[in-house]
Amino acid sequence: MKYKLLGNTGLKVSELCLGTMTFGGKGWAKMVGSLDQQAVDKIMRRSIDAGINFIDTANVYSEGLAEELTGKSIRNLGLKRDDLVVATKVRGQMGEGPNDSGLTRKHILTQVDASLKRLATDYIDLYQIHSFDPLTPLAGDAVDPRRSGEKRQGSLHRRQQRRGWRLMKALDFSNYTRVEAFASLQAYYTIAGRDLEREMIPLLKDQRLGLLVWSPLAGGLLSGKYRRGEEKGDTGRRSGFDFPPVDKERAFNIIDVLRPMAESRKASVARLALAGCCSRK
């Protein structure tokens, strides 16, 4: 396993990160996956044995159940918490009340405590803004739970920052107000969807922020199990949850090239698609 620095933090994380959106299968997340504790433990064990030390979850995954399963798995497997880099997120709806979502100071601090409890840990390594909140000004979400020892670094999700100017504005705000600056950006990026290269990646390199890629296989479309013209008869995840949006014609053109390459190397299409993503510096 290769390890890379998380932005300018000095923190070393595995090049591959274990995502947990398939854990639990509660609420909307059941369209993605419904892994129980036994399956979670198996995946976690295999990931750790492969050298992965980076785990990404979110409070909205299975309405908090994914965090619970992740925390319990760490305990079940007897893993040393300090050997892991655990990331979670805040912003989504976590209740029926008017203040049970968003990026207000109230909601962020409430959800930090709730995530810590579900994960059964006393700190979060990377706390991420999951999506943009148009009702809360930048100063409102400049909360620094790190002062009470509850988190280590901050990050943004791609849906939070759709334009480079917005991210740069946030970084400047942190610089001039001396609050915790964002350490990374989590964004959708695949060999079939490279829009990030136009503006955001140059910005991340210039400002020395880390990039966390979500859905590098485009929701499974680049896994190799999908073939052009067979989508309607598919029973996989994308048949009921066609996300993220992908230019399918472009994706299948890429798959058509990858398939013979994979066969000649006795590798999977998915492995080549991941390699292509990882190789881009």
Active site residues: 61
Query: Nearest 5°: phi and psi at 98?
Result: -70, -20
Q: Two tokens at 189?
A: 């990026």
Q: Are strands 3-5 and 12-14 parallel, antiparallel or unpaired?
A: antiparallel
Q: Which helix (H) or strand (E) holds 272?
A: helix 269-278
**d(C-alpha 171, C-alpha 126), whole Å:** 17
Which CA distances in Å does 2 have to 52, 56, 221? 9, 17, 25
**d(C-alpha 156, C-alpha 210), whole Å:** 10
Q: DSSP string covering 105-128, please? A: HHHHHHHHHHHHHHHT-S-EEEEE
Query: What single-letter amino acid sits at 195?
Result: D
> 9 and 210 in contact (C-beta within 8 Å)?
yes
